Amino acid sequence: MTEQEIVKGCLKKESRYQQLLVVRYSPMLLTVSRRYSPQNIDSEDVLQDAFIKIFEAIKQYDSKKGNLEVWMRKIVINTALKKLNKKCFTHEKSVDQFQDVQLEPIVYSHLEEEDVMALINTLPDGYRQVFNLNVIEAYSHKEIGKLLGIKESTSRSNLSKAKNILRMKLNNQEKQELWARIG
Amino acid sequence: MGSDRLDRFIKGKVQNHQTVSDTDLLWQKIQAKQAAKKKDKRRFFFIWFFAGLLLISSGLGLFFYANGSTEKATTLVTPSSVNNDPVQSPTSLVEPVSESKAMENNPKEKELNLIEQNNKIKKEIKIKNIDLLKEEIIYSGSDTPTSFDQESLNLKESKDTVSTNKAFKNIIPDDQNLAPSNSNFTALAALPFRIIEIDYSNTSDQFEKENKTFPKLKNPKQYNLATELFFNYGLVNKSLKSNNQAYLNIRDSLETPMDVISAGLNFRIQHKSNFYLKTGLEYQQINERFENYTTWDSTVIEPNQIIEIIYNMDGTSTNTIGDGLVDESYYSSKKIYNRYRSIELPILIGYSSSEQRLNWFLEGGLALNLWFKPGGETLSESGHSILLKEDQSYFKSRTGLSLISAIGLSYQLNDRFNLSAAPNFKYQLSSVSSGINPVDQKYLTVGLRMGIGYYW
């Protein structure tokens, strides 16, 4: 069944097409939800809410403006971000505590998709959202600032902190693995 | 830069990553959430509908009440209005006459003048509805007599609408009163009032309207009997209870209560204390939408399918085309409108204000279900559709008692008929489901009842 047929069915609020939409897109959208959901909230719960919003708002979807997947990703991201505590952007550790660490590709190239997901999810909420939006969704800092209700400078600072944390974690991981091999 | 490389690496790994999940379970949870959300919306709408009805009724009540009071007040003759506007009109009841100084100085002349005026008025006044006038005498002064009889007024062939006022009394000194033998008459005759002409043959209707007098029952008795024909429209809220939560969720998601219509005839016996008892017969129909989905799988033979792929040693592959077996899923949905019809016997006790043309009333009581018949379809626990017309074992044939209450307004059209509007609710005290139905089903309805009543 084509994407258009599913959308048409969902427009008629037919349960079968809604189910098809869930079955087809939930694996991809669950990944998005996992990346954006706050640490104390179940990402599946966020996805369920997002799907309900998708069914309600499907009449607003215009295939000429973009594809369905991108439109649904945005809804999932917005649903997850709404559950985010705004304080998470202001109570993170200072960037000065982290050193700039340079990594060679050999350090991380062996990582699998799930490892990368797990690594991203170790980031504090405020850093993780900015990192995901900027690096993966390619949002500008201005757009991130608008979306999260923070200053552009905060977004830049959080991104920098997030990247430093990731590098440090990868570096530590590499060291541990090296010690394990020697030991 | 290392940072860009890391970014690209993470983006490449994560962007198209798919997380494996139980999509069936996810779908069920979404459906359950949707059903709960729908229910919340319904409840929200339900509450606001009822609140809106109450607000509109109260607003209308206040509007009519305020209008009625204003109009009534304008018909009273006040000293100031009399002084300021001595122009005679058919509806102004009395008018002060300005006395000349000569008259004030000469009591005899004044007496003659008043007698002359009285005689003139007696000739002019044409009274037809004597009984009505007796009730309509208006006194605006606090120290005025509480009753006049015809003789004491000394107006043998007429009844007049009289207004006395302390302020006017003070104009004439006591020693100038001209009819000492009858104090009531003195009060009237000595006052510098001119009783003006009212032709009741033409103005009795107008007079009644302007006084906004409540059209009293023709034969008021200790108990009055009334009949009311009514129609009710409203919204329905359904509550389901079951030990089987999964089945309950499915039923809840498939069945959507829509509205309720009812009509009937009530008989009311009203005591003069304004309390009343009401009973009658009511036909009620609850409408509900039932949407059922059926899916089934089937294997069909499709021509021109790749039925075999042979991988060659040189890296190429060879496909064998032929008739292949293809699994297909089929789906059908059907929408049915269920109807739950019933006949009920309401027994209510109420109180009605009866001072005005527009009255409020409050009533409450029980409705005994005499007959209950569902129509349409429902889903069994095993997932099969049940035709309710054929299999009525899922519901009771009599559903017991319901709690009913209404608060409303009634408008007296004339001495016989009245119109009423009342927001009301009905709550079923016991379930409509029978013992074999795994779900207990109850209804709460909120509606607006419109009725026309007739006093016997």
Which CATH number goes with the domain that contains A32? Answer: 1.10.1740.10
- Compare all CA atoms of chain A with the CA of B330 and give the residue at the minimum distance: A16
HSE value, Cβ hemisphere, 13 Å, CA-based, for A160? 14
Q: State how far residue B223 is from chain A, nearest Cα, in angstroms.
A: 58
What are the C-alpha distances in Å from B241 to residues B251, B288, B440, B441?
10, 17, 5, 7
- Tell whether A163 is covered by a domain: yes
Does B33 contact chain A (CB < 8 Å)? yes
State yes or no: pLDDT of B202 exceeds 80: no
pLDDT grade for B426, boundaries at 50, 70 and 90:
very high
Region B83-111: mean pLDDT is 50
Describe the crossing of helices A68-82 and A141-148 by its angle, rounded to 10 degrees.
Answer: 50
pLDDT grade for B342, boundaries at 50, 70 and 90:
very high
State yes or no: pLDDT of B142 exceeds 70: no
- Site of tokens 């009819």: B179
Q: Which of A97-101, B107-111, B139-143, B399-403 has the lowest mean pLDDT?
A: B139-143
A72 with A150, same domain: the answer is no
- Burial of B432-447, coded b for 16+ CB within 10 Å and e otherwise, reads bbeeebbbebbbbbbb
Alpha-carbon distance A11 to A1, whole Å?
15
Which residues lie below 8 Å from residue B308, measured CB to CB, with a gap of 6+?
Answer: B319, B320, B322
**What is the residue-averaged pLDDT of chain B?**
71
What are the E-state strand segments in B47-161? 94-96
Q: State how far residue B14 is from chain A, nearest Cα, in angstroms.
A: 6
Does B156 contact chain A (CB < 8 Å)? no
Query: Which residues share a beta bridge with B414?
Result: none
A76 with A103, same domain: the answer is no
Region B72-88: mean pLDDT is 41
Alpha-carbon distance B274 to B424, whole Å?
20
Alpha-carbon distance B146 to A28, whole Å?
91
Asked which of A63, A86, A109 is the last residue of a domain, the reply is A86
Q: What is the pLDDT along chain A (183 residues), one digit of tens a residue?
A: 788 888 888 988 888 888 889 988 989 899 899 888 877 778 888 999 999 999 999 988 888 878 888 899 999 998 988 887 655 665 555 444 455 556 666 666 677 888 888 888 888 888 888 998 998 888 899 988 888 888 888 889 888 888 888 888 887 777 777 677 676
Does A105 contact chain B (CB < 8 Å)? yes
- Site of tokens 């009783």: B195
B23 with A23: Cβ contact below 8 A: yes
Considering only the beta carbons, identify the residue of A52, A111, A166 that sits closest to B13: A111
In the DSSP assignment, the letter for residue A89 is G
Task: Say how many Å lie between the first and final Cα of chain B, rounded.
Answer: 98
A48 with B29: Cβ contact below 8 A: yes
Q: Which is more confident, B196 or B114?
A: B114
Instruction: List, for residues B353-404, the tens digit of each pLDDT value.
Output: 876 788 889 999 999 999 999 998 888 887 777 888 777 788 888 989 999 9
A46 with A119, same domain: the answer is no
Tokens of B306: 């790749």
A100 with A178, same domain: the answer is yes
Tokens of B279: 């009973």
Asked which of A62, A86, A110 is the last residue of a domain, the reply is A86
A124 with A157, same domain: the answer is yes
Instruction: List, for residues B261-316, the tens digit of each pLDDT value.
Output: 999 999 999 888 889 999 999 999 999 988 876 666 667 777 777 777 777 777 77
Which residues lie below 8 Å from residue B215, measured CB to CB, with a gap of 6+?
Answer: B357, B412, B414, B415
Asked if B442 and B236 touch (Cβ cutoff 8 Å), the reply is no
A125 with A57, same domain: the answer is no
Residue B3, pLDDT score:
62
In the DSSP assignment, the letter for residue A96 is G
Measured in degrees and rounded to the nearest 5, phi and psi for residue B338 equal -80, 145
Residue B227, pLDDT score:
93
Residue B215, pLDDT score:
52
Considering only the beta carbons, identify the residue of A34, A51, A111 that sits closest to B19: A34
Alpha-carbon distance B346 to B402, whole Å?
9
By percentage, how much of chain B surpasses pLDDT 70? 63
A80 with A113, same domain: the answer is no
Alpha-carbon distance B193 to B162, whole Å?
9
Residue B172, pLDDT score:
41
Q: Give the H/E segment covering residue B424.
A: strand B417-428
Kindly list the residues from chain A whose CB atom is less than 8 angstroms away from the CB atom of residue B6.
103, 108, 163, 166-167, 170
User: Positive or negative, the Cα torsion across B451, B454, B455, B456?
Assistant: negative
Indicate the pTM of the whole model. Answer: 0.45
A138 with A177, same domain: the answer is yes
Q: Which is more confident, A51 or B9?
A: A51
Which residues lie below 8 Å from residue B161, measured CB to CB, with a gap of 6+?
Answer: B93, B94, B133, B136, B137, B138, B198
- Tell whether A91 is covered by a domain: no
State yes or no: pLDDT of B211 exceeds 80: no
Residues 4-63 of A with CB under 8 A from B: 14-16, 18-19, 22-23, 26-28, 30-31, 34-35, 44, 47-49, 51-52, 55
A101 with A174, same domain: the answer is yes
User: How wide is the angle at C-alpha B316 spanned by C-alphas B312 and B317, nearest 5°?
Assistant: 70
Tokens of B215: 């059209």
User: Positive or negative, the Cα torsion across B2, B4, B6, B9?
Assistant: negative
- Tell whether A127 is covered by a domain: yes
Measured in degrees and rounded to the nearest 5, phi and psi for residue A148 equal -95, -5
* Containing structural domain, residue A47: 3-86
Give the 3-state secondary structure of residue B416: coil
Alpha-carbon distance B178 to B107, whole Å?
8
Kindly list the residues from chain B whose CB atom is less than 8 angstroms away from the CB atom of residue A113.
13-14, 17
- Site of tokens 């997947």: A69
Amino acid at A85: N
Residue B144, pLDDT score:
42
Q: State how far residue B18 is from chain A, nearest Cα, in angstroms.
A: 4
A31 with B11: Cβ contact below 8 A: no
Amino acid at B93: L
Which residues lie below 8 Å from residue B189, measured CB to CB, with a gap of 6+?
Answer: B114, B118, B154, B177, B178, B179
CATH classification of the domain holding A167 = 1.10.10.10
Q: Give the H/E segment covering residue B334.
A: strand B317-352
Asked which of A58, A86, A114 is the last residue of a domain, the reply is A86
pLDDT grade for B78, boundaries at 50, 70 and 90:
very low
- Site of tokens 């290392």: B2
Q: What's the total number of domains in chain A?
A: 2
State yes or no: pLDDT of B98 exceeds 70: no
- Tell whether A11 is covered by a domain: yes
Residue B174, pLDDT score:
43
Residue A86, pLDDT score:
58
Measured in degrees and rounded to the nearest 5, phi and psi for residue B277 equal -115, 140
A147 with A110, same domain: the answer is yes
pLDDT grade for B317, boundaries at 50, 70 and 90:
confident
Q: Give the H/E segment covering residue B293.
A: strand B275-311
Instruction: List, for residues B114-129, the tens digit of each pLDDT value.
Output: 777 776 666 555 444 4
Measured in degrees and rounded to the nearest 5, phi and psi for residue A139 equal -80, 145
A108 with A154, same domain: the answer is yes
B6 with A47: Cβ contact below 8 A: no
- Site of tokens 């075999």: B308
A42 with A102, same domain: the answer is no
